[in-house]
Amino acid sequence: MLQIGDNAPFFELESSDGGKISSEDLKGVKYVLYFYPKDNTSGCTKEAIEFTELVDEFAKKDIKIFGVSPDKMDKHHKFIKDHNLKITLLSDPENTVSAAYYAYGDKTMYGKVYKGIIRSTFIINEDGVIEEAFYKVKAAGHAKKVLDCVL
């Protein structure tokens, strides 16, 4: 797993804002990168709405919010529209970025092991260094915990 002080892995992903965005584009910007399993599911929706509710508080601290899932851009756009989200969503359909952040791996449901997104969040500073890493996150209330870490 990634630790505080590690350099954040490089990424370049398609963005709901149009085009692609990379970690190189974000040099000089502090941001939150959170990984979630799937658009329009209960926990993922709750987490996205909570980040949206706090987006102005993060913006006051010049922090951008990016949500990452394997969903394709058409699903992201529907998710944004359905819930009036004000955060940028990134598409990682091959789970390569999720794997680089150790946010993809074995999960268990009803005794069955399968591969999937492990809900995880990272606060990354202007130099591309991880300031905080959260693994195996519970969706409800998580956005506020992240905000509290940057106050």
Q: Which of the residues 33, 44, 117, 123 is marked catalytic?
A: 44
Q: How far is CA 140 from the centre of its chain?
A: 15
Q: Could you give the CA distance from residue 133 to residue 118 in angstroms, rounded to a whole number? A: 13
52 C-beta neighbours (distance < 10 Å), count: 18
Phi, psi of 102 (to 5 degrees): 60, 35
What do you get for the CA distance between the two ends of the chain, in Å?
25
Q: Could you give the CA distance from residue 102 to residue 4 in angstroms, rounded to a whole number? A: 14
| Structure token pair of residue 80 | 């944004």
123 C-beta neighbours (distance < 10 Å), count: 21
Active site annotation includes 149: no
Q: Could you give the CA distance from residue 147 to residue 57 in angstroms, rounded to a whole number? A: 8
What residues are annotated to the active site? Answer: 44
